[in-house]
Amino acid sequence: MSSFEHPLLDDDAGPLVRPYTVSNGRTAPTAKLDLLSLVRSTGQLRPSQLEAEHAEALLLCREPISVAEVSAHLRLPAMVIKVLLSDLVDVGAIIAQAPDPAVDTTDQTVLEALLNGLQRRL
Amino acid sequence: MAYNGDSDHSPAQQSRMPTPIKLLVAGGFGVGKTTFVGSVSEIEPLSTEETITAASIGTDDLTGVGDKVTTTVALDFGRITLDPQHILYLFGTPGQDRFWFMWNELSDGAFGAVVLADTRRLEDCFPALDFFERRGTQFIVAVNEFDTGFHYEPEEVRAALDLKPNIPIVCCDARDPRSATLVLVTLTKHLMSAAASSVR
């Protein structure tokens, strides 16, 4: 339709590798990961020691980052990213922390941190 | 960007991961949820696809075991680093009704929600209000003021939505980072007073 005005760029054409190829067809991560699980590199492995997608994921984990963010940055479905990240957990390259299921959403200390952090942005 | 391959993280450091704080932005389709999330986020608005297994549409919640279907839902979200120990994640709830089941999962562990309303189609936010009221999730209502919409006073909106007097209603421009951030400040203050008044 509009392909003449907007030629198909890489992003539009979609990934060249099918998402689940990256995870070797696996859809079940070994570690329990949630969209809001935070992951961070342990520094035990260098990205150069890993395959491309794992290395890219590891590079994103230098600072604590959520599974959802890794998924968005690498443009891969969350389920694929969970498999990749659980591989990295298994080899000790990253640590993961699932959100606390019993989180106290009325915790005044956390709410104050939220308020202060937001007000600093005004 | 030098990568330090040496293990220089002490175990104590490793155990100190920040606390993620989840807030939701809900409302009808096209009300400006993605815009809102994008304007407050410190990173470009991000999107992820999550695979959800849910009871198939039409199966009542209470029946427990219904037919299970697997669906992929696209989710918009944003991030605000509040301080070294707290990260705010703002998730837009899927606007289409057929993704209602996603709301349960998203609401788990959420501190609160902003229900965005469009005065031209107020009824579109009813499902979100009902959902959060039933679930006991604290929320506020933010009227996203579209240029073409008629301006209503918050109290008129309150009457139209039949909202309890303690639930804040604010007007905002979802495109404006400051305006959207102020909505989140109002929500947070509401959460603090709700927490203080609830005896736990």
Residue A97 Ramachandran class (φ > 0 left, ψ -120 to 50 alpha, else beta): beta
What is the C-alpha separation between B15 and B38, in angstroms, rounded? 31
- Among the partner residues B5, B8, B192, nearest to A108 by beta-carbon distance: B192
- The whole-number mean pLDDT for each consecutive block of 10 residues of chain B, a chain of 200 residues, reads 43 70 93 93 84 57 53 87 96 78 84 95 92 95 85 91 95 95 98 84
CB atoms within 10 A of CB B189: 15
Tens digit of each residue's pLDDT (9 = 90 or more) over B55-93: 545 444 444 445 566 777 888 999 999 999 999 999 998
Q: Which residues contact B119 (CB under 8 A, 6 or more apart)?
A: B143, B145, B146, B149, B150, B151, B152, B157
Backbone phi and psi for residue B175, each to the nearest 5 degrees, phi listed first: -80, -20
- What average pLDDT does chain A have? 86
> A73 and chain B: CB distance < 8 Å anywhere?
yes
- Among the partner residues A62, A66, A108, nearest to B20 by beta-carbon distance: A66
Q: What's the pLDDT score for residue B97?
A: 67
Q: Determine, for residues B75 and A35 on separate chains, whether the beta-carbon distance falls below 8 Å.
A: yes
Q: Determine, for residues A71 and B49 on separate chains, whether the beta-carbon distance falls below 8 Å.
A: yes
Q: Determine, for residues B80 and A118 on separate chains, whether the beta-carbon distance falls below 8 Å.
A: yes
| Tokens coding A23 | 């995870």
Q: Which B positions 2-41 lie with beta carbon below 8 A of chain A? A: 3-9, 14, 17-22, 40
Of A30-44, A72-86, B20-34, B87-101, minimum mean pLDDT range: B87-101
Write the ipTM: 0.84
Q: What's the pLDDT score for residue A11?
A: 55
